[in-house]
Every structure is written in structure tokens, then in C-alpha cells.
Structure 1
Amino acid sequence: MSTGWPAVESKAADLGVRFRWWQKPIGKIILAKRADGKYASTIGGTGLSIPRQVGKTFLVGAIVFALCLLRPKLTVIWTAHRVRTAEETFGKMQAFAGRRRVAPYVEKIVLGSGEEEIAFRNGSRILFGARAKGFGRGFDEVDVLIFDEAQILTDAALDDMIPATNQSRQPESALLLFMGTPPKPADPSEVWMRMREEALSGEDDDTGWVEFGADEDHEFTPLPAPLSEADWKQIAKANPSFPEDTPREAILRMRKKLGSASFCREGAGQYDNADHKLIFPKWPSCQTDEMPDEVTAIGLAVSLGEEFGSICSARVWEDGRVNLGAVERRVYSRSYMVSEAKRIQEERECAVALDEKCPDAGLLPALIEAGVAVQVMTLAHFVETTSDLVQRTKDKRVTHQSTDDLDAAVVAAKWRSVGDGRRVPGRKASSGDIDMLEAGIAALWAAGLDLDPWEAWT
């Protein structure tokens, strides 16, 4: 029936902020109110599925700053999934707070370890932090709750934070914002996708949804070929800040940095409607924020073309679950792999495992010569451990921290039959390198061995 946008736009103008044509209707939607004066989406929140390099962080930041000045003692929680994203956002908001027209309203800026804050003279405050570090739990009387990187958001994290808004002191009730881009197949995106599906169904009148994106059926020219004229038209459709605020160079830089698949999602806002059948189908739901402080075993693997080498760790929790964590993936060097395996084994007193069919046939003898107590995984072990990992993901008896190298290998992996109904992730059959996954399987196998880590398996 109304919207709080005019007041916010006016206050933002006092701060020297002028909004673009496309930002204004989004602001009206975010701050829309029902006849009783409550925010229209206070129950379901408002989702902003908007590509990178468009300006959604600036838009939401300006809205939040204006609200903080309009509403004394307003409490805003701004949380991202990754520490890096939270720090980048805080850096931008810190710079905004330092503007000549804004600074007089700011009392102090708190620089903390993952929990930064901008405090205003009228008692309002904005707190920033990363969900991966547990930020957001335990707060109360929160008036505005912003989930950045909301495509990486689990129900558990949502359950931890939503109750904080139950005691909002604002007459419009709490304001919930979810900002993100189309998720990768391995992202734990159940909250985001459920929100999108319910909003687009037209049956959910408690949720706001804004989505920018290229046509679903448009296929962008793959790298290294240049973008076509049709591609650039789709970029303009997905990104209203192009080309006035976001030049062609910025788009091309993002395309090169992200790669073709991620660019379609994060740069052009395209949702991948393909049927992604992960060979470990419950992998996204096994993500955890728990960080193991010990290592039971590490696995080593080399990509098919010997271009990359991966090290993955396994840690057996007290309750029997096993955590798989990507340690490192880098351009392959046999000498580095050997020295790093030796260093980790000596420091952590852990087992070291390697597939007997490693693409670099010289790695095993090099490890032995260097004095590394290496466990050699046969095909039979590989088959058995892969089957175990499938069952563990179904039962949520495996955990991981959702690192890009390991997630990408899981997404790329495809089955290879080895006869008698047995199967393993195939290096040639997969859509990309799976060396980090192979290293994880080796680590999982070695973690289950009842052996002294210094006793080499033969």
C-alpha cells in the first residue's frame, strides 16, 4: 500500500547519494509496506538475485545508512558466507562512512577480527561478519538482517540467525534481505533455491524477489573466443549498470577470472537448469563450519595430464564422522609434493596415501626414497572407499568446509565402470580434473586404516 523509499531516497540525497534508474524500483520493493505499516516482506524477506559488477552492495549499503540515520538505535547485521567477502563489504562501507557528508553522523568505526562495526551518534549500528566463523549467532533485537552470498546459506545457519529479529523494536518490524547470484551445483543452496521457487510460483505473498539475468536459453561464447554482439546484448540485459558504470573491460576481466561456467552464473545471472547428478548427491548438505584441529591422514593425487597436484586431508571426528579438507592444489611439482607430504607427516604424525595408478609413476618411489611412510591404495581399495563415501554423504557422516578445489572436483566427477557393477570417479570420463577428489578418497581410505602412520602398507 506504501513504501518507505521516498524518505530513504531523500536522506541518501542529503548524504550525496544519487540512485540510478534501476535502483529506485528495487528500493521501493525492499521497503514496501502493507496497510498496517509493516514491511510487506517482513516474513519471507526480499531476495536480490543480481550478478556481480552491477551495484547491489552500494544500493543496499546506501539504504542501510539512510535507515540508520532515520531510525535511532537501529541494529543492522550484515553477514556474508566467506570472511573475504565480509571484509570487502566492510571496507566499502567504511569508505562510505568516511565521506564528507556522512562522517559527521558516525561516532566510531570498530576494527575487529571478523566482527567489524560502524556505530552512529544516534545509537544505530551496523555489524559485519562471516557466517563461516559463526558470526550472527546470539544477537537479539536485530532490526535489519542482511544475508550476503545468500546462495550459500543452509537451513541451520538460517535457524541460528532469524530468531534475532523476533524482538525488532521498529514499527515496520524487521527487514530481511538476501543478496546473491545463481549458485554452483555444489553450493549448499537449499534456502536460496526454495526462496526463489516459492517467490516465482506466484503463490507466496510474503516474499519479495528481484532477479536480473540473461535469457535462460542463451549460450555465451566460450573462452578463449571473444564475446559476440548477441552476448553483449545479454550482458546489457543482465547488468543495467553496463556500459555507463561498468565498462566492457570490467566484464571481460570478470569473464577471464571466473571462467565460462561461473561467468554465466555470477556475471550474467543465469540459473543452470541442467540436471546435475552429482556422484555424491548429498555433498552440499554435508558442509560444516567446524574446523578440525587435527589430521588423521592426507591423500595425494596428480591430475591426468600431470598439470596439477592436490593434497587433501581426512580427520576422524569423535562421533565417527570424517572431515575431508582441501589442503592445497597447485601446479604440479614432484619435488614439492614429496617435501610437503614429508613435512605434514612429520608435523602431524598422520598417514599418507597415494593411488597406485597415479599419473606420475615416479611419485611413489620418490616418496619412499624421501622416507615418507606411504600407504598405497589399490583399485579394490579405491572402489570400496568410493562406495563408502557415497553412503557417508547420504548419511551425513562426512563433512567438508566447501572449498572451491574440492567442490569443483565433486561437480566435475563422472562414473567410470570397472566391471562387475563396480565404479569409481573416472579421470577421462569426468568433465574436469578430479585430482582433489581422488586425494580426498585416498585420505578417507588411509584414515580408516588401523595402522601406525609410520608403518608403510604393503
Structure 2
Amino acid sequence: MSSRRTARRGSQEPRVRLEPKRKYTDGGDAAELASAYGLSPDPWQEAVLDAWLGRDAADRYTATTCGLSVPRQNGKNGILEMRELYGMCANGEKILHTAHEVKTARKAFIRLCSFFDNARQYPELAAMVVQIRRTNGQEAIVLANGGSIEFSARSRGTARGFTVDVVVFDEAQELTDEQLEAMLPTLSAAPSGNRQFIYTGTPPGPNSPGEVFGRTRKAAIEGSDKRLAWHEWSVESIGDVADRDRWYATNPAMGIRISEEFTESELTSMSEDGFARERLGWWSSASANAVIGAAEWGALATDAPPSGGKRAFGVKFSPDGANMALSVALKPRDGTPYVELIEHRSMRDGVTWIADWLIERKADTAAVVVDGRSQADTLVTLLREGGMPKKAVVVAGTGGAIASSSRFLNAVREKKISHYGQPALDESVTSATKRPIGREGGWGWGGDDSTPVESATLAYWGVMTTKRNPGRKVRLL
């Protein structure tokens, strides 16, 4: 009996696994073909291929949408190459491979092209080639059996003129709804009649849109899409990022292509949440359930906020009374209403300073909308004692929270609101979730820290609904 220890390897089983039922699969054939050309799949890659290439009794793919979320450098590129190689060569599929950046799409082309332009090493693949197009931004491989693959960086016009069977979204955490909508027509007349979308990526970070990838994951977690295959290596919470057991649980290539030494260097150079996201596959609740995407909100930013118009303030206290947020909204006579975050801080200094600050501006203020049981009554009392007109002070309550949230979301969707692009407000808006409130199916904002977006929502609702108008041109603050 050998005394040698078996090297430790990362888990080949994902934490989240959703696979449509299948009658049979081409996964084994794809793995065998890839192995013949030096792409030997890991066990986890074989399992994912089985799901992606599963077929029903009518010989159609059981998974029309496929999603893979696994930390970087574990083999996402490899499994895409295996899927694309098999699709082109064995099935004659027409494939569109898209990436967030030109250089990423270019690298994918170069890797796959190496199998087809090496007649000495792979003569049978080289013999299938009709054309290899190397023009930057228009790379493509066309085969004699009708199969082909084209590579492109994503933009509004990326899919124009394409008609394909399979669309691959590499770096799916960067994919926006607008880009997806531009891609949908490419599959409307799929030549094979067997369509498939493939999303691969990592959990979206604070600066990634994550709209489509997060929504796809949400459907997988809820089990609401019966034609969706989803595989995810991840942790449920940030937890102890130095725990090596968690490294192996979330990185199937750990001990194969990823070393503990390399991971240690990552740990020392990243923040805890960054390491958890990039190396442990952690999805924050905000990433998975966000209502307003970063790209959607970012498109509403302005460098020239209005300087005059009707003004209202929104004050939101957190449920535990630990912090607060104060925002202002301005409705100009002509132009788009505007919101800005003024303060977001703890309540260690009490509530009097807020009242004093607002009272100083009472002559030019149309409304102050307040919400939050912990301190709302105290602030309202101080405002009225300080001479703020009674009709100018509004306590939102449940009804106001529901009405203001819906109105704010509609304004974003319809592009009828603007903001300055403040990081604290941006983060709060793009991480906000819908929180059920009331008994009639209403909702308000939720999330890790929704007080900034809630204060902006209250201010916007106040300025759009109040009948008061001090009747003079006012400055923003």
C-alpha cells in the first residue's frame, strides 16, 4: 500500500445546481472530441457539458438557457471551447461568441483558431476550414459542414446581421438588458431550429451592471425557468475568507490550475468582500435581486444639475434608528427633476441638527417628507416648533412609502429623473431590492442599506406631489 498522500483537489460539485430533465446527452461525445485535441475536461466540466448538451425525445436541447458562475481561472474558457468545438464540428452550428471587451473576444478567437490553422497537428480540423477571418473585431471561423463561429465585443449593434443557433455571453456579469435585447433577434430564425443562450461569468461587483446575469441566477434559485441549466460554485456569505476548506469548496481547479500560494497572495491584496466575490463566488443579495441596474441608473447622471425650481427634502431613518439619510429633489420649471443625497450618517449626533438645518431653509422649501418610526415623530415636532409650515411637513407612513417607491422606479424606467452620480447614492440605488410592505401587495425599498435611496425617493415624491410652492427661484441647497 502506497504511503504517498493524494493531492487535494477542489470540489467538482457545485453548491447550486439546476438541470432540466433530459432523455440523453451529447456531453460525453463533446468531452471525447475535446480530449482528442488536448482539451481534457475536468469532472465538473464534463457534468456541465452533459447539462448544456442534454436533449429531449424530439432531439432538442432541454436547456435553452445555460448559466455558469464559477470564480476566475477555474476553466470557464476551456468549457466554452469544448462546447463551441463540438457545436461547430459535430452539429454544424452557427455560433456567436460575445465578450464585454474587444481584447477578451480576440483572445477567445485566437485560442479556438489554434485548433483549425495547424494542419500538421490537427489535419482533420484544418481540412474542414472554408475561411478564417482575422480582421480585428470581425474574427470568424467558417467550416465546410455549415458550422461557424464569429467573435464580437458587445454593443448595441453587435448582433446586427447575424443569424445563429447559439449565442455565448462571456463575462456575463457585464451584460446589460439593452445589449441582450439587441441579441434576441439573432435566434429568431436559428438555422438548426435548436436555440441556446450560454452565460458564463463571475458574481457582479459594485461597478458591473449584472442585470441579466443576476436575473438569470434569480430564476435558477427560484426554479421558475424549466428550460434553464445553472451551475454555481459559491459561498452563501462572506464568512471566514481565510478558511482553506472554503477555497477548495468553491474552486474546482484548486490544486490543479490554482495553487494555495496564489490564493494567499490574492487574499492579502483584496478586500474581504472582493476576495469573497472573485475567489469564493459570493453573490451579495443586492447583486442577485437588484431592481435598478447600474447602467440604467448611470445613464441618468448629469454634470449640470438645475439651479432653480420647486424644492423638497426627504428624510429617512433606518428601522433600528442607527443611521439616517437626507436628500433633496428639485423640480425646475423646464427640464428633468433632479435628486441629490445631502447626508448619510449615523444618529450619534441626534436629530436636532437635522431640524435646525431644514428650518434655516423653510422659506424656500415646498415640502419635507419624513419616514422612519424611530425618529420621525421627534423630527416632525421640532420642525413645527421651529416654524416650518404645517402643510410643508409630510409623514410618509406605509402608504407614502409604497406610492413614493413606485413613482421613483417609474421615473427611472421612463428617464424622467436625473442625479449627480454620487457613490453612496449610486450604491444604494443599484443594490436596492423590493421589500413587501402593507397588506395589499405594496412594496418599498430594501437591501443592505436602502436609507439613501429611500430618502431620495421621498424627496422626489414630495416635490412631484406637493401643491405648495414658495413662489421664488431657489438654489439647490
TM-score range, shorter chain: 0.5 to 0.7
Paired with 2:88 and 2:288, the residues of 1 have a C-alpha distance of: 43
CA deviations on 1:58-94 (whole Å, 9 max, x unpaired) are 111112112211123x210011123333233233333
CA deviations on 1:436-458 (whole Å, 9 max, x unpaired) are xxxxxxxxxxxxxxxxxxxxxxx
Matching residue of 1:17: 39
1:53-452 correspondence runs (5 A): 53-72=73-92, 74-98=93-117, 100-101=121-122, 102-132=125-155, 134-140=157-163, 142-170=164-192, 173-214=194-235, 216-221=236-241, 228=242, 230=243, 232-252=244-264, 254-255=266-267, 259-273=271-285, 283-286=294-297, 396=415, 410-411=426-427
2:217 counterpart letter in structure 1: R
Does residue 39 of structure 1 match 2:61?
yes
Paired with 2:240 and 2:270, the residues of 1 have a C-alpha distance of: 14
1:177 positional shift: 0.6
In structure 1, runs of 5+ residues without a counterpart are 222-227, 298-318, 323-379, 381-389, 415-429, 431-458
Which one is further off, 237-246 or 126-135?
126-135
Q: Is this contact kept in 1: 2:165–2:192, CA < 8 A?
A: yes
Q: Is this contact kept in 2: 1:287–1:399, CA < 8 A?
A: no
Alpha carbons of structure 1 residues 191 and 133: separation in structure 2 relative to 1, 3 Å? closer
Paired with 2:288 and 2:148, the residues of 1 have a C-alpha distance of: 42
Matching residue of 2:315: none
Residue 261 of structure 1 aligns to a residue whose secondary structure is: helix
Alpha carbons of structure 1 residues 16 and 92: separation in structure 2 relative to 1, 3 Å? closer
1:202 positional shift: 2.5
Provide the identity percentage. 28
Q: Is this contact kept in 1: 2:174–2:204, CA < 8 A?
A: yes
1:152 positional shift: 2.3
1:268 counterpart letter in structure 2: L
Paired with 1:203 and 1:236, the residues of 2 have a C-alpha distance of: 30
CA deviations on 1:159-204 (whole Å, 9 max, x unpaired) are 2112211222226x11221111111244322322222122222342
CA deviations on 1:209-248 (whole Å, 9 max, x unpaired) are 111113x134244xxxxxx3x2x21111111111112223
Residue 176 of structure 1 aligns to a residue whose secondary structure is: strand
Q: Is this contact kept in 2: 1:151–1:182, CA < 8 A?
A: yes
TM-score (norm 2): 0.55
Paired with 1:413 and 1:158, the residues of 2 have a C-alpha distance of: 22
Alpha carbons of structure 1 residues 254 and 165: separation in structure 2 relative to 1, 3 Å? farther
Q: Is this contact kept in 1: 2:69–2:201, CA < 8 A?
A: yes
TM-score (norm 1): 0.58
2:296 counterpart letter in structure 1: S
Alpha carbons of structure 1 residues 209 and 188: separation in structure 2 relative to 1, 3 Å? same
Residue 285 of structure 2 aligns to a residue whose secondary structure is: coil
Paired with 2:249 and 2:418, the residues of 1 have a C-alpha distance of: 39
Paired with 1:241 and 1:181, the residues of 2 have a C-alpha distance of: 15
Paired with 2:246 and 2:211, the residues of 1 have a C-alpha distance of: 27
1:138 counterpart letter in structure 2: G
Q: Is this contact kept in 1: 2:297–2:426, CA < 8 A?
A: no
CA deviations on 1:303-354 (whole Å, 9 max, x unpaired) are xxxxxxxxxxxxxxxx9789xxxxxxxxxxxxxxxxxxxxxxxxxxxxxxxx
CA deviations on 1:358-390 (whole Å, 9 max, x unpaired) are xxxxxxxxxxxxxxxxxxxxxx9xxxxxxxxx9
Q: Is this contact kept in 2: 1:51–1:238, CA < 8 A?
A: yes
Q: Is this contact kept in 1: 2:156–2:179, CA < 8 A?
A: no
Q: Is this contact kept in 1: 2:174–2:208, CA < 8 A?
A: yes
Q: Is this contact kept in 1: 2:170–2:201, CA < 8 A?
A: yes
Which one has the largest radius of gyration?
2
1:39 positional shift: 0.4
